[in-house]
Amino acid sequence: MTWKKNILITGGAGFIGSHLVRLFVTKYPHYRIINLDKLTYAGNLENLKDIESKENYVFEKADIVNKEELIEIFDNYQITDVIHLAAESHVDRSIEGPMEFVMTNVVGTVNLLQVAKDMWKEGEHVFHHVSTDEVYGSLGDDGLFEETTPYDPRSPYSASKASSDHFVRAFYHTYNLPVKISNCSNNYGSHQFPEKLIPLMINNIVLKKPLPIYGKGDNIRDWLWVVDHAKAIDEIFHKGKIGESYNIGGLNEWKNIDLVKYLCRLLDKKLGREEGESEQLITFVKDRSGHDKRYAIDASKIEKELGWKPSVTFEQGLEKTVDWYLENKEWINKVTSGDYQDYYKKMYQNKS
Ligand code: NAD
Ligand code: TYD
């Protein structure tokens, strides 16, 4: 079989990556999808069980920090395009230990850029770098992040992602590498590791454990269903302009406390609990250091130029998400056994 493209998706065993791999493997049978993942605590091949035997799917366990491994994979599969998601992705972990974030997010990204530059001497290629809105810093009560908003990262995580975005742009200007960048707001959906707000709260509500809200719970995030993020990446990868950035977001701002209360009410209904029962689990804990106040995305560029918009409301997406966690207790049990217990103790034991 000759493949129309050999697309390397990095971080394909993670939360967003697994949704993207699934979308591409099923929608584009004429592309071969090579999923490269180190399988850190956040990577899980169970996320891809339903597509792992497809002819156009291959998995390669590798570390983007190791350039030799990347060269071998580019060579073996004649990689034509890259969609780069592999990263350390959790702000709280970056506060505890920034160096892992520098290695994977900065050094790993520069390795990939260099290998792509050296391998792609001719033909048509795309290097799509998947990034976050957190590179723009923190908003006050008004305003939205636009593609032209100056970078102002404040956490070690966002500083590492901002640095990787700068390198991607530098490779476009300096070496003409055909790059595209997307900066997305907070994602939620199935298969998200329960260190992030929504799956952590769902899991704790189910288990009747305290619901740790940082500070007063008045920080604001703009939430997008992960499947809509994957669809936006698909649009940008195929139709976006080389050298440009696209913001992706849901125009869906929620204060953390309101969101957690909404989840409590939804789960009270689903679990047949008394109304208000789960809300009693809410516990205000010590705030995150350097906690960004508000993120909100202006997604008008991708809407106007590429015709993308979210396909579900937040209420619909959250219901699908909660149902998935309730139906997949084995998944949650597996990822929260072992190391997760140590992580949870370390991060939350001294917070209240
Ligand atoms: P995740 O933590 O769930 O998954 C990251 C994946 O990368 C895991 O499968 C992990 O094993 C892999 N990985 C980590 N280090 C690696 C290395 N050195 N080599 C190879 N693979 C490695 O993250 P996610 O939430 O799915 O985020 C994916 C990407 O999207 C990241 O680049 C993140 O910055 C970006 N992003 C995330 C969000 C969000 O809300 N989660 C929003 C915007 C952008
Ligand atoms: P998170 O899911 O870690 O995403 P990010 O920090 O990248 O936006 O956190 C979302 C918001 O929820 C953020 O304002 C921090 C807050 N939060 C809590 O209040 N308690 C928690 O246990 C966690 C993990 C997050």
Whether 18 is in a domain gets the answer: yes
pLDDT of residue 113: 98
Give the tens place of pLDDT for each residue, 121-158.
999 999 999 999 999 999 999 999 999 999 999 999 99
Rounded Cα–Cα distance for residues 50 and 18 (Å): 11
Nearest-CA residue for ligand 2 atom 17 is 197
d(CA 77, CA 94): 33
Q: Say which amino acid occupies 338.
A: G
177 and 117 Cβ atoms separated by less than 8 Å: yes
Q: How many angstroms separate the CA atoms of 214 and 212, rounded?
A: 6
Confidence of residue 189 (pLDDT cuts 50, 70, 90): very high
Residue 296 has pLDDT above 90, yes or no: yes
Instruction: Using most ligand atoms within 8 A of CB, pick from 8, 9, 10, 16 the residue to mutate for ligand 1.
Output: 16
CATH, residue 94: 3.40.50.720
- Ligand sitting nearest the alpha carbon of 155: 2
Residues 247-290 pLDDT 10s: 999 899 999 999 999 999 999 999 999 999 999 999 999 999 99
342 belongs to a structural domain: no
DSSP-based three-state secondary structure for 45 = helix
Cα separations (Å) of 278 from 38, 203, 351? 37, 12, 20
Distance CA 46, CA 265 (A): 30
CB atoms within 10 A of CB 284: 15
Q: Are 183 and 247 in contact (CB under 8 A)?
A: yes
Predicted pLDDT of residue 352? 66
pLDDT, average across residues 44-65:
96
Token pair 């530098």 is at which residue?
A: 170
Helix (H) or strand (E) holding 9, with range, is strand 5-10
pLDDT-above-70 percentage for the chain: 100
Ligand 1 pocket, mutate which of 19, 66, 89, 99 (most atoms under 8 A from CB) = 89
Does residue 283 lie in a domain region?
Answer: no
> Average pLDDT, stretch 9-24?
98
- Quickly list H helices, 176-292: 197-207, 226-239, 256-270
Range of the domain at 103: 5-191+224-254+293-315
Residue nearest to atom 44 of ligand 1 (CA): 132
The residues carrying an active-site annotation are 133-134, 157
Q: How much is the average pLDDT of 91-114?
A: 98
The per-residue pLDDT for 349 is 85
Contact in structure between 162 and 308 (CB atoms under 8 Å): no
Domain count for the chain, please give it.
Answer: 1
* Residue 278 within a domain: no
Distances (CA, A) of 208 to 67, 275, 278, 283, 300: 45, 14, 7, 12, 41
DSSP per-residue codes, 85-108: ------HHHHHH-SHHHIIIIIII
Quick one: which atom of ligand 1 is closest to the CA of 134? 43
Residue nearest to atom 23 of ligand 2 (CA): 197
pLDDT tens column, 302-335: 999 999 999 999 999 999 999 999 999 999 999 9
Do 34 and 6 meet the contact criterion of CB atoms below 8 Å apart?
yes
Question: Is 123 part of any domain?
Answer: yes
pLDDT given for residue 24 in this prediction: 98
In a domain, 69, yes or no: yes
Question: Residue 136 domain-assigned?
Answer: yes
Residue 150 resides in a domain: yes
Tokens of 318: 């959250």
Q: What is the pLDDT of residue 351?
A: 76
Q: Tell me the pLDDT of the chain averaged across its residues.
A: 97
What are the pLDDT digits (tens) for 20-40?
A: 999 999 999 999 999 999 999
Q: Residue 255 forms beta bridges with which residues?
A: 220
Q: For residue 227, give the amino acid letter.
A: V
Q: Of the bound ligands, which one is closest to the alpha carbon of residue 263?
A: 2
